[in-house]
Amino acid sequence: MPNLLNEEIAASLKGRDFLALADFKPEEIRWLIDLAIELKRKSKAGEVYQPLKGKTLGMIFEKSSTRTRVSFEVGMYQLGGYALFLSRNDLQLGRGETISDTAQTMSRYLDGIMIRTYAHRTVIELARTATIPVINGLTDYAHPCQALADYQTILEHKGRLEGLKIAYIGDGNNMVHSLLVGAAKLGLHMSVASPEGYEPDAELIRQMQETCSETGASIRVVREPREAIEDADVVYTDVWASMGFEAEQEERAKAFARYQVNEELVQYAKPDFVFMHCLPAHRGEEVSPGVIDGKHSIVFDEAENRLHAQKAIMAAIMA
């Protein structure tokens, strides 16, 4: 992979925060994907690669997690470092200490911080005040680590990214925001179908459409799932009520009733389409069991790649 020999890109990533894909150039994102694939190869071959030996990552969790916690913790261990799990109740954040004071204090102890929280401004404030790299493990606005793993997974299964079509069916949430940025920067075509009132952020769409003019990508937001999924190479969905929106579950179930990804809908995708979901999934709601457990589903390859993509992020910015 010649990209990995690009010392200029490697140097540009060192010491950076990883808050959103929008902060990175297309060639930097692609370099991270290639690095993730190489680190995955090393792991499968049993090769030891420990650029973070002796380094420590603090992991702040204000939202519970399966994939984020396990993949970061295991990834840090495999890279030779140590990951420290910190819930809100473990920190003085739970008693009112400011994010700024927390950031400055943790910067004296750690080599990096990963945070999984609600408000995106919390991550921005943490990164602004910290003197060590900060990684966004998820906010209500963006999920860049998942998106990086997703594009790694698509590349592995399709052999390319440029020119492919992604159809996203469902809520215009943090997941679709990060996927849209990746599509625009990496040259994919993406169609999003969401009910009225649940579309992706309009300003983000405008910004990414400007990026599309430079990369040859395209973005569309439509109302009808069938229109979005027509001839798609990749079909993607997420839960109808993300974490923090559980009180809206009943209301959202009505709004999204026509947006289930099921056997009837995927007939309009390409015959060799792949199905993706960031998990956890609610079978029988946003996706039918026949699709998520069917032959086109690559959701567990996608989940595995969280480990490798995040190892690439940590190795690039913390080593």
- Same domain assignment for residues 9 and 120: yes
The span from the CA of 250 to the CA of 259, in Å, is 15
Assign residue 236 the CATH number of its domain: 3.40.50.1370
Q: What is the mean pLDDT of each run of 10 residues along the chain (319 residues)?
A: 76 97 98 97 97 98 94 98 92 83 96 97 97 98 98 98 98 98 98 97 97 97 98 98 78 96 98 98 98 98 98 97
CA 10 to CA 1: how far, in whole Å?
Answer: 14
Neighbours of 311 (CB within 10 A): 26
Rounded CA separation 319/253 (Å): 45
pLDDT the model gives residue 3? 66
> Residue 88 catalytic?
no
Statement to judge: residues 138 and 217 lie in one domain: no
Q: Residue 12 belongs to what H/E stretch?
A: helix 7-13
121 a catalytic residue: no
| 238 classed as catalytic | yes
> How far apart are alpha carbons 25 and 29 in whole angstroms?
6
Q: How many domains does the chain have?
A: 2
Please tell me the distance from the alpha carbon of residue 149 to that of residue 138, in angstroms, as a whole number. 13
Q: How far is CA 227 from CA 62, 216, 274, 285, in A?
A: 37, 21, 17, 20
Claim to verify: residue 175 and residue 277 sit in the same structural domain = yes
Residue 68 annotated as lining a ligand binding site: yes
**Placement of tokens 């894909």 in the chain:** 21
Task: List the domain range (segments joined by +) for residue 253.
Answer: 145-302
Q: How far apart are CA 170 and CA 238, in angstroms?
A: 7
Residue 174 and residue 130 share a domain: no
Q: Is 293 a catalytic residue?
A: no
Tokens of 200: 């992706």
Q: Is residue 258 located within the same domain as residue 192?
A: yes
CA 59/CA 68 separation, integer angstroms: 10
Among the listed residues 157, 183, 156, the one whose alpha carbon sits nearest the alpha carbon of residue 36 = 156
The active-site residue, picked from 152, 212, 260, 278, is 278
Q: What is the pLDDT of residue 89?
A: 82
Task: State yes or no: 26 annotated in a binding site.
Answer: no
- The two tokens of residue 253 are 């179930």
Separation of alpha carbons 293 and 314, rounded Å? 32
> CA-to-CA distance for 295 and 53, rounded, in angstroms?
40
Catalytic residue among 177, 277, 306, 308: 306
Pick from 96, 134, 138: which is nearest to 120 by CA?
A: 138
- Determine whether 140 is an active site residue: no
**Are 65 and 2 within one domain?**
yes
Q: What is the DSSP letter of 239?
A: -
Q: Are residues 235 and 249 in the same domain?
A: yes
Residues 165 and 252 in one domain: yes
Is 279 known as a binding-site position? Answer: yes
Give dist(CA 119, CA 103) in Å, integer: 16
Instruction: Identify whether residues 134 and 160 lie together within a single domain.
Output: no
Same domain, 129 and 170: no
Residue 316 is classified by DSSP as H
Same domain, 174 and 138: no
Diameter of the chain measured on Cα atoms: 55
Residue 305 marked ligand-binding: no
DSSP category for residue 194:
-
Give the pLDDT of residue 244: 67
Q: Are residues 163 and 46 in the same domain?
A: no
* 101 counts as catalytic: no
Whether 3 has a binding-site annotation, put simply, is: no
User: If residue 44 lies in a helix (H) or strand (E), which one and from where to where?
Assistant: helix 26-44
- Residue type, position 255, single letter: A
